[in-house]
Amino acid sequence: MEDEHDSQVVTNRQIILKHYVKGFPKESDMILTTAAVELKVPAGAGEAILLKNLYLSCDPYMRHRMGILHDSYTTSFTPGQPIIGLGVGRVVDSSHPGFEKGELVWGMTQWEDYTLIQSDVESLFKITNKAVPLSYYTGILGMPGATAYFGFHEVCSPKEGETVFVSAAAGAVGQLVGQFAKSVGCYVIGSAGSEEKVDLLKNKLGFDDAFNYKKEPDLNIALKRYFPKGIDIYFENVGGNMLEAVLLNMRCYGRIAACGMISQYNLEEPEGVRHLFEIVAKRIRMEGFVVFDYYPKYNKFSDTIISLLDQGKISYVEDIVEGLENAPSALIKLFHGANFGKQVVVVARE
Ligand code: NAP
C-alpha cells in the first residue's frame, strides 16, 4: 500500500441523486458536485479498494433505484449520495488481500472519479483479457451480455428452426439476443424505435427482419405480418402493449423470457396486461429472471464471448458519451430511445 500517492489529495467529481424521482427522470434530478479524496485506502477502512472509475454503464434498472422501492430485487439509491452503477475501473490502492494496485475490475461502483469500495469487494470481476476494449465490460462482456446470453440460452430453451421475437432489439441486451438466436439456427425478428435502428438490425446485426414499432398503428397486425405462423420465443424487454400483441401471436408451447418491461418504469401506476388467457390456451411458459443469479457461471460465459469476438462471429454496437458530467443526460437517453446500442460513459481512459 505504500507508494508515491500516499498523501496525494485530488478532486473527486460526483454525480449525486438530488431526490427520489417520479415519472421520467430529468437531468435536474442529478447534480455534479466535487469533494476531496485521498488517493489511498484510509486507515481503518478494513479490507477495501480505492477504484479510479474509467467507464460507467447506463442501465434501465437504475430508474427503479432512483425511486422508493419496497420488497424489490434491489434497493433505492440514497438522495444526497452518488448514483450507484456498474462500471469498469482501475485499482489505485488496496488493503484487500485479493486485489492489487493497477488491476482492472468491473462491477458495482459509483458515479464519481474515485470510489472507495468497502463492502462486497469480492463481487467485483477481475479483467484479465486486455485485448478487448475495456468499455465492453459494461456491455457485451458485462451484465447486459450475460443477461442476453443466459436469458436466451437458459430461459428460452431455443431449438433450431424456431421463430424468435426480440423487443428493444437494438439496445445493449437485444442486439446480442438476436445474434445468439441466429447462432442456434432460429428465425429472428426485432423491433426498435427508429429507422436507423431497424437498418442496424437488418444490415449489421444479422436479424432476419426488423420493424419500427412506432410506425405500426396496430402491433398485433404487424406481428401477424412478420410471424404468419406465430412466435415460438419472445424475449421481452418492453412490456405494455407490445406484450399484449405478442400474447395474441404466440404459438403453442411458446416461451417468453421476461427480461424487462421498460415501458412501465416511468409510469406512476403500471398498466394492466390483456390477453393473459393466451398463456393458458397456448400452454406458454413465461419466466422472469435476474441476471445476477447466473453470475457464478460468468467465467464460462466470458470465455465464450471473447472467442466469438476473436473469430469475428459477433457484432457489438456502443453509444459512447464522453465525460462524467454528461452521465445524467446519457442515462436519460435510455427512456427516450435516444441511445444507439449500449450506452456507456467515459470518465477516464486510463
Ligand atoms: P437498451 O435497450 O440499451 O435501452 C433501452 C431501450 O428501450 C431504448 O433505447 C428504447 O429503444 C427502448 N424503450 C425505451 N422506452 C420504451 C418504451 N416506453 N416502449 C418501448 N421501448 C422503449 O437497454 P438494455 O440495457 O438493453 O435493457 C433492455 C431491457 O432489459 C430493459 O427492460 C432492462 O430493464 C432489461 N434488463 C434486465 C436484466 C435482468 O437481469 N432481467 C438485465 C439487464 C437489462 P427503442 O428505440 O427500441 O424504443
What pLDDT digit, counting tens, does each position of 238-266 carry?
Answer: 999 999 999 999 999 999 999 999 999 99
Q: Averaged over 158-165, what is the pLDDT?
A: 98
* Residue 202, burial from CB neighbour count under 10 angstroms (0-12, 13-18, 19+): middle
The mean pLDDT of the chain is 96
Q: Averaged over 290-298, what is the pLDDT?
A: 97
Testing ligand 1's pocket by substitution, the residue of 237, 244, 256, 321 carrying the most ligand atoms inside 8 A of its CB is 237
What single-letter amino acid sits at 296?
P
CA 249 to chain centre: 27
**pLDDT tens, 91-136?**
999 999 999 999 999 999 999 999 999 999 999 999 999 899 999 9
Is residue 339 lining ligand 1, measured as CB closer than 6 Å?
yes
Cα 177 to averaged position of ligand 1 atoms, centre (Å): 13
- Tell me the percentage of the chain whose pLDDT exceeds 70: 98
**Which residue would you say has higher pLDDT here, 341 or 2?**
341
Is residue 259 lining ligand 1, measured as CB closer than 6 Å?
yes
Closest residue by CA, ligand 1 atom 16 = 263
DSSP 201-243: HHHTS--SEEEEGGG-S-HHHHHHHH-TT-EEEEEESS-HHHH
Q: Which atom of ligand 1 is nearest to the CA of 342?
A: 3
Band of residue 7 on the pLDDT scale cut at 50, 70, 90? low
Testing ligand 1's pocket by substitution, the residue of 262, 290, 321, 335 carrying the most ligand atoms inside 8 A of its CB is 262
Is residue 267 lining ligand 1, measured as CB closer than 6 Å?
no
Cα 267 to averaged position of ligand 1 atoms, centre (Å): 15
Is residue 194 lining ligand 1, measured as CB closer than 6 Å?
yes
Is residue 301 lining ligand 1, measured as CB closer than 6 Å?
no
Q: Which of 72, 45, 65 is nearest to 108 (CA)?
A: 65
Is residue 289 lining ligand 1, measured as CB closer than 6 Å?
yes
Q: How far apart are CA 261 and CA 61, in angstroms?
A: 10
- 155: number of CA atoms within 13 Å, CB side? 25
Could you state, in order of their start, the residue ranges of all structural domains in the chain? 9-139+316-346, 143-292
CATH 3.40.50.720 fits 143-292, yes or no: yes
Cα 289 to averaged position of ligand 1 atoms, centre (Å): 15
pLDDT, position 350: 85
CATH 3.90.180.10 fits 9-139+316-346, yes or no: yes
Band of residue 308 on the pLDDT scale cut at 50, 70, 90? very high
What single-letter amino acid sits at 195?
E
78 Rama class: left (phi>0) / alpha (psi -120 to 50) / beta? beta
Is residue 158 lining ligand 1, measured as CB closer than 6 Å?
no
Q: Which atom of ligand 1 is nearest to the CA of 197?
A: 46
**pLDDT tens, 172-200?**
999 999 999 999 999 999 999 999 999 99
Q: Which of 89, 85, 15, 105 is nearest to 52 (CA)?
A: 89
pLDDT, position 70: 87
Q: Which atom of ligand 1 is nearest to the CA of 59?
A: 25
Neighbours of 236 (CB within 10 A): 21
Q: Provide the 3-class DSSP secondary structure of residue 151.
A: helix
Q: How far apart are CA 139 and CA 161, in angstroms?
A: 28
Is residue 61 lining ligand 1, measured as CB closer than 6 Å?
yes
Is residue 76 lining ligand 1, measured as CB closer than 6 Å?
no
DSSP 279-346: HHHTT-EEEE--GGGGGGGHHHHHHHHHHHHHTT-----EEEEE-GGGHHHHHHHGGGT---SEEEEE
pLDDT, position 1: 45
Is residue 82 over pLDDT 60? yes
Is residue 3 over pLDDT 50? no
pLDDT, position 4: 47
pLDDT, position 5: 45
Q: Averaged over 281-289, what is the pLDDT?
A: 98
First to last CA, the chain: 20
Q: What is the pTM of this model?
A: 0.97
